[in-house]
Structure 1
Amino acid sequence: MYNDIKLEKGLYNLAGKSFTQALTEADPDENYADSSLAGLDAFERQLKRFDIKICGSECDKVEKFFVTTESAVLFPEFVKRAITQGMEESILTDIVAVKTRSDCNQYRGYLISESAAYTTKTSEGNSLPETTIKESPNSISLLKYGRLITASYEAVRLQRLDVFAVTLRSIGKKLADAITSSAVSTIKTGAIEVDIAGSALAYSDLLNLYSQFTSYNMNTIIASPKNAALILSMTQVQDSISTDEKGNIILPFGTVLIKSAQVNDYTIIGFDRNYALEMVTSSELIMETDKLIDRQLDAFTVSMNLGFKSIISDAAKTLNLDK
């Protein structure tokens, strides 16, 4: 049972397993399918065990984690989950087609080349047009994104956990925004550029960008806050505005509009989010767990190694406003 699990620092250092995975292995979720604890994961069951409330009117303070040496082991996972939640609030999840795990900080991937168009017809006995998939001659380097967080235990111990979690989420969101900047740059690289027709962005320019997609669908547009506001002010958009389940604006021709400060005011990016971008990571979010457990919050780091690679270059095109 969850009350009998021995919590120790080593649970964070098991090869190939996260803290929650290690807990779940020792305390499987299926054991609680028909109990009042159904729906809680192994970490959440430990919070209940030590009566640590991380939200609500009776929310505890940070110091509640450090009542016992075992409950202190839970604190790094609380920090990680809050930061990760902030990262997941970014647009990354809306623009990445696939996420790949690499065993090292160099990643090659592959290249695709076509001998002829798919509409090419052949007669009996002749060779079919060929699609060649081969290892890329160039590798991408996975770079470290992270933050050094300085906060003494005395400064945070009396803070409510929900308030502290908001601070951690904001760090995660800003970190994800920095990562998004690299993602946007990768999508733009090699994408065909289309100029606007006049001196200022018009609805007809968006339709022209949409028309450039043949094999793929322009289901997503990323624009700067300035250009997103300009698009929303267009009469054609206002007359038929709608939103998806996430609250994202859907343009009249079915494309999701994403506002991002990581795009400049001179470029609008249209792409097929199912084909354009690969996110490569060599690690999940890494933290100095020992310091957090031992209340050495004066300086601890959070980081992850990752990079981005264009998968299908024809699945992205850009609209150039710099005329």
Structure 2
Amino acid sequence: MARYESLKLEKGMYATPGKTFTQVLESLDPSENYIGTPLEGLDAYQRQLKRFGIHVGGAGSDRIEKFFQTSDSAALFPEYVARSVRQGMEQENLLPSLVATVTEIDSMDYRTIESVPTDSGKELKSVAEGAALPQTAVRTKDHLVHLKKRGRMLVASYEAIRFQRIDLFTVTLRQIGAYIARTQLTDAVNVLLNGDDGSSPAKTVACAGEKPTYADMIALWGSLPPYRLNTILASTDAMKDILCISEFRDAKAGLNFQGTGKLITPMGANLLHDPDMASGKIIGLDKTCALEMVQAGGVQTDSDRLIDRQLERTSISVIAGFSRIFDDAVRVLTYTS
């Protein structure tokens, strides 16, 4: 009998400090042991689905009650919920295109670092023999990163969903993940605009007229050096204004947008659409050094309740916050929309 077929699954696997359910399974049943076998390519959780014959997608998707055929298979249900929510977050998530680094923490308090170089401090000047090297000061910020718990309450009785196909229920869970991702994007935009203390607005570049022009976009690009303008974030109205700039409406760009849905990239920057962002602002930033994301664990569920089929009012949440790394790596183009 293969190792994965004899594992004892229990609630306590979700309470292991610093490890997810899948990581606990991997420690007991390493995937490396299956290299060269038909199970190669499956992680420890997916092997458990195979063990109990649970099909979570496709035409042969099982009913939700299949998870609860034994006490061991029931322990897989919270991980299925978390994975489905993560899939929804990944499908809607713009944060990887904005965040320079992700910091994982195991507490609710986190104080990040900052470095505020002067103009001369950004230059690597020639140093005479025996002279002291210029210094770059790095210190902890005087305030904590504001972590927010974002999520949804799952309100459904087991009796109401037990006969539903798993892949149909997955659609609902992915939508919950999409809601969480969009809300986290709003949190990130707020930090880019106002700083992680809420009172340090990013430097602005004002448009000359009522609508952004090509010259205004050039001004935004020119305001960032020595940082690079590689990401632009805009609301729906601002996106329309950018797309209407004549210099960005050449035939090749138009055909690419109409044929693939891929937006043009002004100044070579990645153009991102945030429908919840306020009008009259276009954020330009250097994605490599502007924003830090802080996470306290991944997707969290009430695992005990889910295993015990007490789905009524079960929470699904993520705890995360954001911090600006280098303030000068962000600029905001403002205009009257």
What range describes the TM-score normalised by the shorter chain of this pair?
over 0.9
Q: Which consecutive residues of structure 2, in runs of 5 or more, have no partner in the other structure?
A: 195-200
Matches within 5 A, 1:82-231: 82-89=84-91, 90-114=93-117, 116-117=120-121, 118=123, 123=128, 126-189=131-194, 190-231=201-242
Is the counterpart of residue 236 in structure 1 residue 247 in structure 2?
yes
Matched positions, count: 321
Which structure: greater strand fraction? 1
- Matched residue, 1:300: 314
Tell me, yes or no, if the aligned pair for 1:223 and 1:258 is still in contact at 8 Å.
Answer: yes
Fraction of identical pairs, as percent: 40
The Cα of 1:139 is off from its aligned counterpart by 2.0
Secondary structure of 2:177's partner? helix
Q: Structure 2: how far apart are the matches of 1:58 and 1:26? A: 29
Secondary structure of 1:58's partner? coil
Q: Structure 2: how far apart are the matches of 1:181 and 1:309? A: 13
What amino acid is aligned across from residue 298 of structure 1 in structure 2?
E
- Note the alpha carbon deviations across 1:185-241, whole angstroms, 9 max, x for none: 111123210011112122222222111121111111110122213322333223242
The Cα of 1:283 is off from its aligned counterpart by 2.3
The Cα of 1:42 is off from its aligned counterpart by 0.7
Q: In structure 2, which of residues 302, 310, 328 is the aligned counterpart of residue 288 of structure 1?
A: 302
Tell me, yes or no, if the aligned pair for 1:114 and 1:130 is still in contact at 8 Å.
Answer: no
- With 140-149 and 63-72 compared, the bigger mean Cα shift is at 140-149
What amino acid is aligned across from residue 293 of structure 2 in structure 1?
M
- Matched residue, 2:71: 69
- TM-score, normalising length from structure 1? 0.93
Secondary structure of 1:158's partner? coil
Secondary structure of 2:40's partner? coil
1:65–1:247 CA distance, 2 compared to 1 (3 A): farther
- Matched residue, 2:323: 309
What amino acid is aligned across from residue 314 of structure 1 in structure 2?
D
Q: In structure 2, which of residues 18, 21, 26 is the aligned counterpart of residue 19 of structure 1?
A: 21
Q: What root-mean-square deviation, in Å, do the aligned CA atoms of Structure 1 and Structure 2 show?
A: 2.0
- Matched residue, 1:254: 268
- TM-score, normalising length from structure 2? 0.89
Q: In structure 2, which of residues 52, 63, 66 is the aligned counterpart of residue 50 of structure 1?
A: 52
Matches within 5 A, 1:23-34: 23-34=25-36
- Matched residue, 1:78: 80
1:144–1:172 CA distance, 2 compared to 1 (3 A): same
The Cα of 1:250 is off from its aligned counterpart by 4.1
Tell me, yes or no, if the aligned pair for 1:248 and 1:258 is still in contact at 8 Å.
Answer: no
- With 47-56 and 101-110 compared, the bigger mean Cα shift is at 101-110
Secondary structure of 1:217's partner? coil
Q: Structure 2: how far apart are the matches of 1:43 and 1:279? A: 27
What amino acid is aligned across from residue 155 of structure 1 in structure 2?
A
Tell me, yes or no, if the aligned pair for 1:236 and 1:252 is still in contact at 8 Å.
Answer: no
- With 137-146 and 115-124 compared, the bigger mean Cα shift is at 115-124
Q: Structure 1: how far apart are the matches of 2:43 and 2:113? A: 38
- With 258-267 and 113-122 compared, the bigger mean Cα shift is at 113-122
Q: Structure 2: how far apart are the matches of 1:51 and 1:76? A: 17
Q: Structure 2: how far apart are the matches of 1:85 and 1:288? A: 18
What amino acid is aligned across from residue 323 of structure 2 in structure 1?
K
What amino acid is aligned across from residue 53 of structure 1 in structure 2?
H
The Cα of 1:247 is off from its aligned counterpart by 7.0
Q: Structure 2: how far apart are the matches of 1:293 and 1:16? A: 21
- Matched residue, 1:274: 288
The Cα of 1:129 is off from its aligned counterpart by 3.2
